[in-house]
């Protein structure tokens, strides 16, 4: 019996394998056929010829025409990978991952083999990799170890119109690579038509235009401004869904971030549930940067028959990702953008009106496969008279400490004359130097110190890298590394579902026993999770986001960001005095310690410090005698700390 049974299983196995193989084959054949329908395909030969003829080429083509997925493959097929890799940079990590996944399918290879991606904290490449998608920030880091980019035969700086900080810095550096390496090809690709600026910057490089296929898009405005754009967006989506036949096209809504997307998802689910079977199925697909990898693919799955898909996306769907089948775009007109005030050192993420260029890109997403409709949740007057033409490049609205440190360690001393396409404000450069000086990463002549060189090695904010380098001296590197990564994940690890807020808050308090600060609490979370053997169950029980827990490290040394309690309960920053408050989410919000250090300042209704820990003022003088003078902390320490003690210790 056993023999028969096994025999039977074997036969089944073979059949299954064969089925799988023939299915994979037909999927692959379909992908090959699809590749030939993309707008870039008819230009394959002329594009390759232009790349052959020119060292630098600016490529312009409508979103979805196949620039990102096809051009690296064409180059591979044409032999450009014989003497080096093809690198393709993306401003967003999700885009780098998802495009790499797609291209590996198209080439029928395992992701991470011939086709791979590299993003911060995750390298999915191998010795075999010849087509490498990566974030622009990762390529920037590669300059540190390989300033001539010797391992690349071609680099495509993709989504150049996004003008992220890293892309802008790359421009300046990679232009030099092209000058010194005649065998190197550089492609700058962009979705918008103002490519002249790129061409001008890159020594009048020729512009190759890929004519797009765009169907007409009907634009609708609201008659009056919307008070609640989230609600308006949801109502509009449901109206489309119930009035238009299913199967005539999917809906794409542009929202500003994860939280908003999750709220929208919840409301949409509730409302469709209450309508029950009276309406066709609505498949809700969120997509944003921190969405877990395994859920990212869902947005590309074909919409089931008789149903409609509604995609809730951040700006990522504006040009980085193309989702087929969209007919309706709902554009509330906002985006979350970083802004930076060099005077106060305050960086904040603010919901800001989009630019006209963005609005047009968004609308265009509805007209890819047929005539589309765009619903702008703002007035025509807003659009014509209030929106800026273009988004201000990130370099002009961000903290530059990281960039300055990287460029310094690349040996670029004269930052004022660095070849920036649009130079950053000199005030912001100064502020960056001030911070790096406070961290001891540069000396008073602005020269990189040994410490600064070490710090540049870490793919982290200078403050975090300083913390890690310094932890060695305090013999707490293990802990510091845990906290640093907890701080680097970009979202909170604490899960606080609406219907269980009390439970969640209690769970959180457990990590604060003894009124420890947020940093130690983060460490406790990390350590307990580690002790639970990285258990998912443990995370559920403790209201911790499992996926946020994946990366981790530790803290001490945020001495440049300290504040002292005032009589009225607010805090005064020790350097660059300014009134700030402890963020309500902090475990110390009720404790109100006298002296604190904090991880970041955020501006919402007030200017808040987030991730706060209590310190003794004398520590500040001890760790950073070049930055804090005794007089800065004196009024409180005078009795405990003999004058000049801090300055006596040299470090
Ligand atoms: P462009 O870079 O010019 O905007 P892309 O190369 O990104 O264009 O897209 C070309 C086609 O590939 C689009 O039809 C898009 O839907 C498809 N595509 C891209 N990435 C994926 C993915 N991860 N899954 C499924 N399809 C994808
Ligand atoms: Mg693209």
224-241: pLDDT as tens digits = 988 899 999 999 999 999
Torsion angle, CA of 11/17/18/23, rounded to 10 degrees?
A: 150
Tell me the mean pLDDT in the region 150-156: 97
Looking at the CA of 320, which ligand is closest?
A: 2
Measure 64 CA to ligand 2 centroid, in angstroms: 7
Using pLDDT thresholds of 50, 70 and 90, give the confidence band for residue 65: very high
Q: Which of 32, 47, 64 has most ligand 1 atoms within 8 Å of its beta carbon, as the pocket-test mutant? A: 64
3-state SS track over 360-411: HHHHHCCCCCCCEEEEECCCHHHHHHHCCCCCCCHHHCCCCHHHHHHHHHCC
What are phi and psi for residue 220, nearest 5 degrees?
Answer: -115, 140
Least confident of 89-98, 267-276, 490-499: 490-499
Q: Which of 74, 188, 191, 322 has most ligand 1 atoms within 8 Å of its beta carbon, as the pocket-test mutant? A: 322
Give the CA count within 13 Å in the CB-facing half-sphere of 151: 13
Measure 99 CA to ligand 2 centroid, in angstroms: 8
Measure 333 CA to ligand 2 centroid, in angstroms: 22
Percent of the chain past pLDDT 70, that is, above it, reads: 88
Least confident of 497-501, 579-583, 605-609: 605-609
- Nearest of 596, 588, 600 to residue 616 by alpha carbon: 596
Q: What is the pLDDT of residue 6?
A: 39
Looking at the CA of 361, which ligand is closest?
A: 1
What are phi and psi for residue 356, nearest 5 degrees?
Answer: -60, -40
Rg (CA), the chain: 27
119 within 8 A of 74, measured Cβ to Cβ: no
Residue with CA nearest ligand 1 atom 15: 322
Give 127-132's long-range contacts (Cβ < 8 A, gap of 24+).
129/85, 130/76, 130/81, 130/85, 130/86, 131/72, 131/73, 131/76, 131/81, 131/85, 131/86, 131/88, 131/100, 131/103, 131/107, 132/85, 132/86, 132/87, 132/88
Ligand 1 neighbours (beta carbon < 6 A): 38, 61, 63-70, 98-99, 101-102, 300, 322, 324
Measure 139 CA to ligand 2 centroid, in angstroms: 17
Q: What is the pLDDT of residue 557?
A: 77
Residue with CA nearest ligand 1 atom 5: 66
Residue 146, exposed/middle/buried by CB under 10 A (0-12, 13-18, 19+)?
Answer: exposed
Looking at the CA of 38, which ligand is closest?
A: 1
Measure 218 CA to ligand 1 centroid, in angstroms: 24
Least confident of 308-317, 331-340, 407-416: 407-416
440 within 8 A of 626, measured Cβ to Cβ: yes
Looking at the CA of 41, which ligand is closest?
A: 1
Residue 169 corresponds to which tokens in the numbers above?
Answer: 């810095």
Instruction: Pick the atom of ligand 1 nearest to 158's CA.
Output: 2
Residues in the chain: 651
Q: What is the pLDDT of residue 139?
A: 95
Tell me the mean pLDDT in the region 107-117: 94
**pLDDT of 213 above 80:** no
Q: What is the pLDDT of residue 461?
A: 83
**pLDDT of 649 above 60:** no
Measure 322 CA to ligand 1 centroid, in angstroms: 5
Q: What is the pLDDT of residue 40?
A: 96
Q: At what angle do helices 93-106 and 67-77 cross, to 10 degrees?
A: 50
Instruction: Pick the atom of ligand 1 nearest to 210's CA.
Output: 3
Residue with CA nearest ligand 1 atom 22: 102
Measure 469 CA to ligand 2 centroid, in angstroms: 38
Q: Tell me the pLDDT of the chain averaged across its residues.
A: 85
Assign 458 to helix, strand or coil: coil
Measure 440 CA to ligand 1 centroid, in angstroms: 45
Q: What is the rounded distance in angstroms from the CA atom of residue 467 to the CA atom of residue 460?
A: 10
26-58: pLDDT as tens digits = 888 888 999 999 999 999 999 999 999 999 999
490-510: pLDDT as tens digits = 667 888 887 888 999 999 999
Instruction: Pick the atom of ligand 1 nearest to 323's CA.
Output: 16
In the block, residue with structure tokens 């609600």: 231
Using pLDDT thresholds of 50, 70 and 90, give the confidence band for residue 151: very high
Q: What is the rounded distance in angstroms from the CA atom of residue 364 to the CA atom of residue 385?
A: 21
**pLDDT of 250 above 70:** yes
Measure 285 CA to ligand 1 centroid, in angstroms: 17
Percent of the chain past pLDDT 90, that is, above it, reads: 47
Q: Which of 102, 296, 369 has most ligand 1 atoms within 8 Å of its beta carbon, as the pocket-test mutant? A: 102
Q: Is the Cα dihedral 427, 432, 435, 441 positive or negative?
A: negative
Q: What is the pLDDT of residue 636?
A: 46
Using pLDDT thresholds of 50, 70 and 90, give the confidence band for residue 384: very high
């Amino acid at each position: 019996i056993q023999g028969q049974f096994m025999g039977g299983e074997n036969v089944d196995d073979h059949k299954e394998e064969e089925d799988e193989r023939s299915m994979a084959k037909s999927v692959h054949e379909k992908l090959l056929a699809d590749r030939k329908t993309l707008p870039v395909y008819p230009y394959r030969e002329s594009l390759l010829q232009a790349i052959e003829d020119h060292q630098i080429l600016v490529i312009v083509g409508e979103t979805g025409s196949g620039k990102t997925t096809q051009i690296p493959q064409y180059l591979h097929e044409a032999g450009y990978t014989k003497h080096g890799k093809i690198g393709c940079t993306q401003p967003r990590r999700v885009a780098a991952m998802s495009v790499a996944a797609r291209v590996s399918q198209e080439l029928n290879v395992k992701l991470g083999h011939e086709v791979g991606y590299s993003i911060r904290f995750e390298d999915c490449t191998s010795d075999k990799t010849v087509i490498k998608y990566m974030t622009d920030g990762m390529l920037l880091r590669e300059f540190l170890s390989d300033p001539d980019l010797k391992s690349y035969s071609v680099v495509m700086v993709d989504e150049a119109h996004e003008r992220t900080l890293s892309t802008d810095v790359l421009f300046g550096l990679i232009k030099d690579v092209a000058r010194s390496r005649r065998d190197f090809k550089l492609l700058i690709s962009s979705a918008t038509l103002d490519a002249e600026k790129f061409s001008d910057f890159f020594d009048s490089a020729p512009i190759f235009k890929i004519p797009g296929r765009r169907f007409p898009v009907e634009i609708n405005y609201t008659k009056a401004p919307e008070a609640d754009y989230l609600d308006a967006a949801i109502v509009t989506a449901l109206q489309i869904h119930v009035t238009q036949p299913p199967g005539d096209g999917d809906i794409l809504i542009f929202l500003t971030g994860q939280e908003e997307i999750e709220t929208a998802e919840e409301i949409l689910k509730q409302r469709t549930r209450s309508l029950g079977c009276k309406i066709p199925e609505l498949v809700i697909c969120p997509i944003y940067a921190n969405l877990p990898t395994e859920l990212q693919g869902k947005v590309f799955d074909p919409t089931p028959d008789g149903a409609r898909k509604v995609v809730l996306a951040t700006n990522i769907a504006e040009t980085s990702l193309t989702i087929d089948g969209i007919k309706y775009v709902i554009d509330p007109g906002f985006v979350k953008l970083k802004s930076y005030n060099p005077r106060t050192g305050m960086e904040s993420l603010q919901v800001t009106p989009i630019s006209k260029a963005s609005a047009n890109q968004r609308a265009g997403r509805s007209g890819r496969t047929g005539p589309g409709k765009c619903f702008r949740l703002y007035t025509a007057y807003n659009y014509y008279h209030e929106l800026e033409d273009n988004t201000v490049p990130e370099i002009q609205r961000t903290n530059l400490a990281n960039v300055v440190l990287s460029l310094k360690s690349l040996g670029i001393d004269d930052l004022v004359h660095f070849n920036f396409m649009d130079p950053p404000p000199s005030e912001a450069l100064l502020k960056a130097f001030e911070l790096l000086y406070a961290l001891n990463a540069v000396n008073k002549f602005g020269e990189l110190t040994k410490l600064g060189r070490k710090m540049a090695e870490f793919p982290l904010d200078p403050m975090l890298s300083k913390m890690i380098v310094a932890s060695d001296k305090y013999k707490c590197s293990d802990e510091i590394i845990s906290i640093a990564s907890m701080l680097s994940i970009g979202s909170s690890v604490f899960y606080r579902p609406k219907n269980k807020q009390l439970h969640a808050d209690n769970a959180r308090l457990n990590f604060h026993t003894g009124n420890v600060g947020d940093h130690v609490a983060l460490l406790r979370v990390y350590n307990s999770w580690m002790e639970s053997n990285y258990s998912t169950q443990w995370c559920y029980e403790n209201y911790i986001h499992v996926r946020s827990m994946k990366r981790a490290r530790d803290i001490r040394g945020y001495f440049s960001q300290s504040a002292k309690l005032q009589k009225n309960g607010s805090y005064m920053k020790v350097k660059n005095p300014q009134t700030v408050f402890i963020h309500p989410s902090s475990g110390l919000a009720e404790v109100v310690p006298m002296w604190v250090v904090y991880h970041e300042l955020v501006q919402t209704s007030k200017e808040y410090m987030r991730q706060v820990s209590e310190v003794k003022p004398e520590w500040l003088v001890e760790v950073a005698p070049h930055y804090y003078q005794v007089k800065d902390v004196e009024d409180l320490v005078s009795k405990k700390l003999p004058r000049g003690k801090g300055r006596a210790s040299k470090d």
